[in-house]
Each structure stands twice: as C-alpha cells, then as structure tokens.
Structure 1
Amino acid sequence: MTKNTLNPIFSSYDKIQSLYDEIFDENSDVREVYKKLFELYSGLSIDDYGNLNEMAKASFFNQGITFQVYSDTKAQEKIFPFDLFPRIIDHDEWDTIEKGVLQRSKALNLFLHDVYHDKKIIKDGIVPIEMISSSSNYLQSMMDIDPPGGIYNHISGTDLIKHSDGKYYVLEDNIRCPSGVSYVMCNRGALKKALFGVFNHYDIHSVTDYAENLLEILESVKPHGVDVPTAVVITPGIYNSAYYEHSYLAKTIGIELVEGRDLFVENDFVYMKTILGSKRVDIIYRRIDDTFLDPLEFKQDSAIGVPGLFAAYKKGNVTIVNAPGTGVADDKAIYTYMPEIIRYYLGEEPILNNVHTYHCSKEDDLKYVLENVNELVVKPVDEAGGYGISIGNRLTKEEIETLKETIKKEPRKYIAQPIMSLSVHATYIEDTNSFEQRHVDLRTFTLLGNQKDFVLRGGLTRVALKKGNLIVNSSQGGGSKDTWILKK
C-alpha cells in the first residue's frame, strides 16, 4: 500500500497497488484527467468535505431521492448514497464505449425480432433453441408481432467494468426495464449545488438532454396513423423500489405518471381517466414486468396491470416501451452468445469485450464450474439488482457445497464468470471520515428510435461502499458518483 500526502483530503488514502485505481497511476501519480480536479479539491479539509457531504444528503432527502430495499425483514426507504468526488472519462475512451454500447443495442434489437419471427440465428446453429425455449422471459404471445418502428429495446442499460488491464468489459445487458438514469441527472444537480466552481474548469457533456431525447424516441415509435401522440409512464405504485425514478422521469419528460387503475381498454384502444373525461393513450413507457402488464393475457391475479392492454398492443393501437418479451435477450445465458450475435446480425467484430462466461447447462461448463466454484462468480440468469450472486472466494466450504447442489438442481438457471478485478475510485466513507478505494462499475443508457439513436454522454457510476465488496447495486448497499464525459 502507498499513501498520498499531496492533498489534505487524501492524506490517509491507502492505494493498493494490485488494483487499477482510476485517479492514481501505478506510480501513485495523479492521472492527467484528474489533475485539475485534484488541485481544486486540495483547498478542502476532510471536515469541509464531510460537511458538504451532509449538505448533499440533506438535498437528496428534501427532494425525495430515495429507493426501497426489500432484502431486510421489511421494506425500507433509503436516501440514495452519493459521493461528491466525480468519475472522469476522457473523450477517446468514451468514444469506444459509446460505439460499443450502441452496437450491442442494435444487435439485440435484431436478435429479438429474429427470435420472435423467423429464428434464423437458431436455424443457422448460432444460438441453441433450448436457450430460447427454456428462458422464463421468452413470451410465445409475442410471436410474429411487429412493434411500431421495429424497435423492441427502446431503452438499454449496459453495465461495464474496467478491469486491472485497463480495458472495459461488459458485465450484462439490461433491456427489460433498466433503471438508474434519474440518479444520473440528480447526481449532476447535487454536485453543481455543492461545488459549482469546479465545473468552470472542465468542459463536460450535459446529462440533462436525456429527457428530451427520450421523448423524441418515444414519439418516433408512435402507432401508425397517430399525428400527435399521448405518452404516459406506468408504475406499479409508490411502494416500488424505483418509484422515485418513475415519478422523476414522468415530470422531466413532461408526461403523465399513471398506475394500472388509471387506464382502461375499449375497442382495443387504451384510454386514460382524467378529470375532463377519457383520453386516448398511444405510448406507454412501462416500469412493470411483462407478466403483470395484463391480467387477461398473463398473470390473472395482477392488480397493477391493465385488462386488455396486450390485445390493444397486438392490434398496433398502442406502443409499449420496452416491448414485452425483451427479457429473453438480457437473460444472462444469452449474454454468453453476444459476440456471435453481433457478428451474425451486423457483420462486425464486437467493440466491447465480454467477460468469459460458463453456462451451467453445457456439460463441460458445468463440470468446470463445479470443480472451480471457489474461483468464480455464480449468477442466476434471470435476477437483477445484484440478488442471488455468489462470489466463490467469499464462501465457506459449507456454502460452496450448498451452492454446488443448487446449481446441479437447475443448471440452466446459472452462469459463472471469473472473479474480475473491478477498478477502484477514491470515495468518501462516512464511517471513517476519509477517502478510501472502492470498486466501481458504469451503467450506460442507450435509446433506439425509429429515426434516431442516442447514447447518454454520462452514466451511473455505481460504487460498492463496503470495503472489498464487488457488488455495486444500491439494493446491496451501493452508492453512486457523478460521471463526467470530457468533450473533445
């Protein structure tokens, strides 16, 4: 370990040489893109920083920037943890990321159209039929349906890590109901309030253009024959873990936030109840899982869906964003085929690397995983939020044996990957009133439309606040940072 004494707030910063530190290089010198920021923060004492941190927390609390955690004995509403020391990505590095996530989103959209139509990729032996048919997110109801504009994954969240080799790797693709973009915009606002002066020294991309681009994307996939579409955000309600985001996005975009009870279907058209009477709805940005969307088509006991919605969708009278059935493509088992999917549909080499992945439904992969669990990260293919992940070198012998038995019972449900060394970033830790290294990842947000595409030039840098933890999800105790993308 080495310590940095050039800056008061980093006086006790321990740099572990084996980890890729995004601020300090291998010689413990400040990397070029951080030099000015490092200098600007040098005027603060650690107590000054702690006071600013408390101000940011109060700001988040007053604005209601919270999330629900369900892993405890009861649901708890918590302030989203936020660190005032931003992450900086230079323009050349970002250029590769942006091209790579857009490439993946386009390839996944073509994959979705194919698996719900001709299944050419299966017939050509690229992806096995059992990977599709055994996915809990594959909806037979979507067969031969053409979504407006030909877009399935209008909104994609791609999770990346920077490995110890300095390269970016994609951990997973999220294209059902990817969340977190509201925190990207709130983080920027909070940092500007607390430390406005630092923005004068960097030329960075705005993140406030996301809302207008999202609205444009939504309106570009309006149903045929609609001139001025009406769009809404549908939420499960105030007790959902991401309800703050649902309400924030609706307000920022300038459209109504509704629950299932606020909508009804008549003659295969969707209407919204208003104080002035019913109003036709053309586009639904849904934050409800597939099987809860329509009790007449999926789960009959769903109290948060809209009876008849899917029939209206099949008739082309309403657009659902993202399209039902997209979850088959962000199944972590399909992730293992992403390089082949990109080559097959786009005729291009993948721009971003996949993490080598073992799928337990394959006999050889299963054998390897069972023999090497202690060196692997095991993930369920259909979970989100960091739930169900097991990191082999953190398990006891008894826990390893239990995990092996669990995998053997349902091998299709699990993948395994090498334990990657996520990069670390200096992060303020309240308990110690000091800066410490913490592992980070990056969730990017890509929009696909009928006439344009858009990648948000920023992202959600998620931080594993527990020392040594590799799971960054807020539901697992993680926090976040503002992410600055430098302009050319």
Structure 2
Amino acid sequence: MDSSSLLKEYPLNPVVWDEMCVQNEVRAPYHKVYEFLKQISTEDLTRKEEMARRLFMNQGITFTVYSSGEGIEKIFPFDVIPRIITAAEWDFIERGIKQRLKALNLFLKDIYHNQFILKDGVVPIEMIYSCPHFLREMHQLNVPHDIYVHIAGIDIIRDADGEFYVLEDNLRTPSGVSYMLENREITKRIFPDLLPQNNVRTVMQYPQLLYKNNPNGLLGVAGLMSAYRKGNVAIVNAPGNGVADDKAVYIHVPAMIKYYLNEEPILKNVPTYQLNNPDEQAYVFENMARMVIKKTNESGGYGMLIGSAATEKEMEDFKVAITANPREFIAQPIISLSSAPCYLNGKLQPRRIDLRPFALCGPDGIEIVPGGLTRVALREGSLVVNSSQGGGSKDTWILSK
C-alpha cells in the first residue's frame, strides 16, 4: 500500500479512541503491522481477504440470523487486520474479569442459599425474584465446587477516555469461542510470518482448558436434573445462573464485588439507569436521543434502541413499552466505542469494536484465554457490533511481555 497515503486517508475521529493511531502517529503495538501494510500491495491484501473469505466458506464458519422468523445462515464477516492489545492492558483486563467472576459466583451461591446480599439490602430482593432466569428449583441445591459460571464471555469496550469498561456479562451461553479459534487459524494461513514477529500469545489451549476444568460435564441427558440434584454430574453452565447476566442485575455487580470481596472494582461498569426508578426513568425520557435502551433479557442486538439513530416514533414506542414494563429495560449513555483499522473497499477505514474475552472457571481457579473475539461494527458510523446486525470480527492479538 502507498505508505505516503496510508495514514492520510485513514480518517480519525477526534472524539474516538483509535487503537492504531493517535494524532496521525502509529501507536507502538501496531508498528510492525503498520510496516507490513506499507510493504504489501493493495492487490495482495485483497487476495488475502478473498482467501480468508473462501476459507470461512469452505469450513462452514457461519452464523444464523433469526430476525425474519426464519433461520438464515450467513458467512461470518472477517476483517484481516488484527486488533492488538499490549501485555499491560491484558493484565488489567484479566485481573478485572477474574475479580468480577469470583464475585458473580459468590452472588449466585448466596441467592440460592442464605441470600445475605438481599437481606442486607445491597441488591433489591424484587430485582432477583422478578428475573425470569431465577429458578426456585435451585434453592439450597449445592453445585459442584460452588461453581455456577463455568464459561463466561465478558463484553469489554474502550471509551474515548482510553479506559476499559464492562458492557455486559454473558454467563448463560456465551457465544463466539469457535470464531475466536478459527480467526486465529485463518490469520496463520494468510499472514504466516506476522504472528511470530509480534510475539502474539496463543489462544489454541482453550479446548484443553475446557476439558481440564470440566472433565465430567454432560449435556442433553434424560433425567439430567435428577442426577444433578444428587451431585452425580456437573452442568455447564449451572441452571439458574442467568439471573447474574440479567442486564438489570448488571447494575449491581460493582456492589457485589465490594460486598463479597471487600475490593474496589478493577473494571468499571458503563453508567446504567434503572427504568423502574421514577427519577431515572424521567431523566432517560428527557435525554433519550443520547441513550441506548436495552431489554434486560434480550441478546444479539435485539430489543435495543440507539437514541441518536432513532426516529421520534421509535422513541415514543419505546417510552410506551418502558412505562408498561419498566423492569424489562435499562438505559445507558451512548458510549463512543474505540475504533480499529479495517480493510474495506481497498483501503484502511476505522470501525468501532468491542472485545469478548472468554473465561473458564474450575476448581483450580479462573483462567482467561489470552485473546478473545473482537467484534466489529462494519457499517460506517454504526455502534452495533453484533453479527446478527451486520457486524463482523477480527483476530485478537495479545502481545507477550
């Protein structure tokens, strides 16, 4: 690519943190990738992109869109330019996720046993009992090793201030692990020399970690709950753990960390408004154009409204729905999301991204795979990274120390 125009044609947004560039200078972690991009022709990079697309197609790496009521399979869009995270940044993220999952597992044990956190008023009791994923059948049921969350995908974003925040906790069925693994395999095929040059940590130990942490897990067995109650099997993840990834309960995770661990949260939450609180609801209604409204138990980008992109009618429809069932919604200020370079239409373009690291919790502790799924909002100006809403993904490189 023409080195003289590579950055000149890369349109930086001054109010967005860009992972590769700052004030038209390349950040240190991206130097080697940048030098590689200067040396490769646009034609060669386009061929690499097409090779990646064919590999995804031939291996059947797809996802299903259900928005039309029919399951439509699509190839998972993959951007060939990796997202790079330094060793120091990863250490911070890793410590924050481990702290968060320790607290969430303690919370789940507590609410299905003594309910101290409810009795002490740290989390409102009605918030838990109104959650559709709270299972009374789990009351006083002891799960193996007190682990309710075995596999988690924690969604992390970086705001304009450069800080990392937790956007969501995915604790029931965190998707995307296979895409993380395949992204790395395809990167090794199309850029065989770049990974070793950058001292990138491997993600391929995930299957071994999964087996090590859960060697006796079973799924889809007749009489499973009966065997589970007797302690003969472990279910991954534990039934009833969805109460901890309810978006209305997410608000209370920082308080859980302080309550159970007596620590300050390492990773902050995104500021969040509870819409069953009249004052907070009134504030959100007055500032809806600057808010993201989410249904508390939807996923995949469904049941969501981005105020800045919504019509007046859409906002009014949401207000009616919120007024009727305020417990089912939360609101968050629109977060800018950091951008990263993507190869689109023959040139580098910044697109918004998030990160979903995957954690495995076992009797020997919590292990975080050094990587994760970087999701990309491929549409220009979009903040929605979900594949079902037009998003794609990147390989995520964690640099060694």
TM above 0.5, one fold?
yes
d(CA) in 1 for partners of 2:272, 2:126:
18
Kept in 1: contact 2:353–2:377 (CA 8 A): yes
Other-structure match for 1:194: 190
Other-structure match for 1:104: 100
SS of residue matched to 1:368 = helix
CA apart distance, 1:307: 4.3
Which amino acid in 2 is paired with 1:387?
A: Y
SS of residue matched to 1:216 = helix
Moved more, 46-55 or 323-332: 46-55
- Alignment pair present for 1:161 and 2:157: yes
Other-structure match for 1:481: 394
Other-structure match for 2:76: 80
Other-structure match for 1:297: none
- Alignment pair present for 1:342 and 2:257: yes
d(CA) in 2 for partners of 1:5, 1:318:
59
Kept in 2: contact 1:463–1:481 (CA 8 A): yes
CA apart distance, 1:426: 0.7
CA apart distance, 1:197: 1.3
SS of residue matched to 2:238 = coil
CA apart distance, 1:73: 5.5
d(CA) in 2 for partners of 1:414, 1:348:
29
Which amino acid in 1 is paired with 2:15?
A: S
Matching residue within 265, 275, 284 for 1:360: 275
Q: CA, structure 1 residues 420+154, in 2 after alignment: closer, same or farther (shift >3 Å)?
A: same
Other-structure match for 1:63: 59
d(CA) in 2 for partners of 1:73, 1:145:
37
Moved more, 386-395 or 412-421: 386-395
CA apart distance, 1:400: 1.1
CA apart distance, 1:74: 2.9
SS of residue matched to 2:21 = coil
Other-structure match for 1:439: 352
SS of residue matched to 1:15 = coil
Other-structure match for 1:257: none
TM-score by length of 1: 0.80
Larger Rg: 1
Kept in 2: contact 1:8–1:44 (CA 8 A): no
CA apart distance, 1:320: 0.4
Kept in 1: contact 2:7–2:24 (CA 8 A): no
Which amino acid in 2 is paired with 1:12?
A: E
Q: Deviations for 1:385-436, whole angstroms, at most 9, x for unmatched residues?
A: 111110011111111111110111110000000000100011122xx33221
Matching residue within 95, 101, 116 for 1:120: 116
Kept in 2: contact 1:8–1:46 (CA 8 A): no
CA apart distance, 1:43: 1.4
Q: CA, structure 1 residues 153+30, in 2 after alignment: closer, same or farther (shift >3 Å)?
A: same
Other-structure match for 1:331: 246
CA apart distance, 1:115: 0.4
Matching residue within 278, 291, 295 for 1:376: 291
Other-structure match for 1:274: none
Q: CA, structure 1 residues 195+8, in 2 after alignment: closer, same or farther (shift >3 Å)?
A: farther
CA apart distance, 1:11: 5.9
d(CA) in 2 for partners of 1:328, 1:95:
28
TM-score by length of 2: 0.97
CA apart distance, 1:66: 0.9
Which amino acid in 2 is paired with 1:176?
A: R
For residues 25-424 of structure 1, the aligned pairs below 5 Å read 25=22, 27-72=23-68, 74-219=70-215, 229=216, 283-284=217-218, 286=219, 306-424=221-339
Compute the RMSD of aligned alpha carbons.
1.5
d(CA) in 2 for partners of 1:461, 1:97:
14
Which amino acid in 1 is paired with 2:117?
A: I
Kept in 2: contact 1:69–1:475 (CA 8 A): yes
Which amino acid in 2 is paired with 1:88?
A: I
Which amino acid in 1 is paired with 2:16?
A: L
d(CA) in 2 for partners of 1:399, 1:202:
47
Kept in 2: contact 1:8–1:45 (CA 8 A): no
CA apart distance, 1:472: 0.4
Q: CA, structure 1 residues 57+8, in 2 after alignment: closer, same or farther (shift >3 Å)?
A: farther
> Structure 2, unaligned stretches of length 5 or more?
none
Kept in 1: contact 2:2–2:38 (CA 8 A): no
| Fraction of identical pairs, as percent | 49
Which amino acid in 2 is paired with 1:397?
A: E
Which amino acid in 1 is paired with 2:211?
A: L
